[in-house]
Amino acid sequence: NAGVTQTPKFRVLKTGQSMTLLCAQDMNHEYMYWYRQDPGMGLRLIHYSVGEGTTAKGEVPDGYNVSRLKKQNFLLGLESAAPSQTSVYFCASSKLASSYNEQFFGPGTRLTVL
């Protein structure tokens, strides 16, 4: 099993450009999450999904959109990138969001917006 994979690993964008980050999991997990991590800020939840076809906003959703058309994939889109979106983006999945449920993380995508 590959676990959770993220594509791409690195990306540099210019202000105003758009891009899509892909997260894929092969563990048949119901829940998927997108986080950003900035120095000194910890992990902040952008959007999450509790199942195929559903999405919900997290703590910092502005400037991002997501889609979960297939259970195994969770896409994060930036329609018009801004320098404030320079960050490391982590995707995670969990079997269910029940008590004592472990999250599995992808290796991260390092995004720089110039």
Query: Which residues lie near another protein (CB under 8 A)?
Result: 33, 35, 40-45, 48, 50, 56, 58, 88, 90, 97-103, 105-108
Residue among 28 and 100 whose Cβ is closer to another protein: 100
Q: Which of 17/103 has CB closer to another protein?
A: 103
Question: How far, CA to CA in Å, does 6 sit from each of 11, 16, 52, 98, 111?
Answer: 12, 23, 18, 24, 12
Question: Shortest approach of another protein to residue 48 CB, angstroms?
Answer: 6
Residue with Cβ nearer another protein (17 or 71)? 71
Q: Rounded to the nearest whole angstrom, what is the least distance from the CB of residue 18 to another protein in the complex? A: 25
From 60, 64, 19, select the one nearest 42 (Cα to Cα): 60
Q: What are φ and ψ of residue 84, in 5° steps?
A: -65, -10
Taking the least distance from each CB to another protein, the nearer of 85 and 109 is 109
* 81 touches 13 (CB < 8 A): yes
User: Minimal distance in Å, beta carbon 103 to another protein?
Assistant: 7
| Nearest-approach distance from CB 80 to another protein, in angstroms | 27
